[in-house]
Amino acid sequence: MLDFVRTWLFPPACVACDAPGPALCAACAPAPRDAQTFSLDGVPGFALGPYDGALRRAIVAMKHGERDPLDAFADLLAARAMIDGVLVPLPTSRGRAAERGFDQAVELARRLAVRRGLAWAQLLVKRGAPQDRRTRRQRLDASGRFAIRRGAPLPDRVTLIDDVCTTGATARDAIRVLRAAGVDVRRLVVLARTPPDRRYSRTQAGERHAVPTPLKNV
Ligand SMILES: [Zn+2]
């Protein structure tokens, strides 16, 4: 579609609050003081902020197919996150990425790599892909979600990229498989982290999809 027609039909607006203007307005973008640092299996983690409020609304919009905030998120990560080594996205299941039209972790890794002048690689594949011969039950097992992409050259050091870190189970799986392959996982960088004390309270409040179980990488 011609840009001016698209702009006329869909004027640019903040995905979190609908204010006209950039995809993530200044009021909704996480501030530097919102940043969260944590550790997961000895890997230092970084999040732009807690998975809550405007940041959460923007991420949910992205999960529903809204691409506009990707650049804004990549700008914020590029400015604030410590990165070491090759950027490796945690892949979403193909079904979900296909529904959405893109894999948000891949898109973030790609954009972040450009901004920081780093390499990125789709090193991990999600098990449960069509060629996977494991049974459904095995695929649903909480561990072993990932495999190293066949034939992929292995970097010495990587930084993992994902959108949200909830229980950390998904990232732990990725760390395990990479370490087993001799790759040093230096950092984990995500957009948002669910605060430990809120991981279960949201479901009790009846809010749907707020807390993905470790089995679902939403
Ligand atoms: Zn806003």
Q: What is the pLDDT of residues 90-107, one digit of tens each?
A: 988 767 777 778 899 999
Rounded CA gap, 138 and 144, in Å? Answer: 9
Cα 71 to averaged position of ligand 1 atoms, centre (Å): 15
Neighbours of ion ligand 1 (CB under 5 A): 14, 16-17, 19, 25, 28
Mean pLDDT, the chain, integer: 84
Looking at the DSSP bridge assignments, the partners of residue 38 are 45
Q: Which CATH class is domain 29-204?
A: alpha beta
Which has the higher per-residue pLDDT, 213 or 177? 177
Cα 29 to averaged position of ligand 1 atoms, centre (Å): 7
Residue 212 has pLDDT above 80, yes or no: no
Cα 153 to averaged position of ligand 1 atoms, centre (Å): 41
Q: DSSP letter string over 17-66?
A: T--BSSSS-TTTSPPGGG-EEEEETTEEEEEEEES-HHHHHHHHHHHTT-
Q: Look at residue 134 in the predicted model and tell me its pLDDT.
A: 55
Cα 58 to averaged position of ligand 1 atoms, centre (Å): 9
Band of the pLDDT at 2, cuts 50, 70, 90?
Answer: low
Cα 14 to averaged position of ligand 1 atoms, centre (Å): 5
Cα 59 to averaged position of ligand 1 atoms, centre (Å): 12
Residue 3 has pLDDT above 60, yes or no: yes
Residue 79 has pLDDT above 60, yes or no: yes
Helices of type H across the chain: 3-9, 53-63, 69-80, 94-100, 104-116, 136-140, 169-180, 201-204
Cα 22 to averaged position of ligand 1 atoms, centre (Å): 8
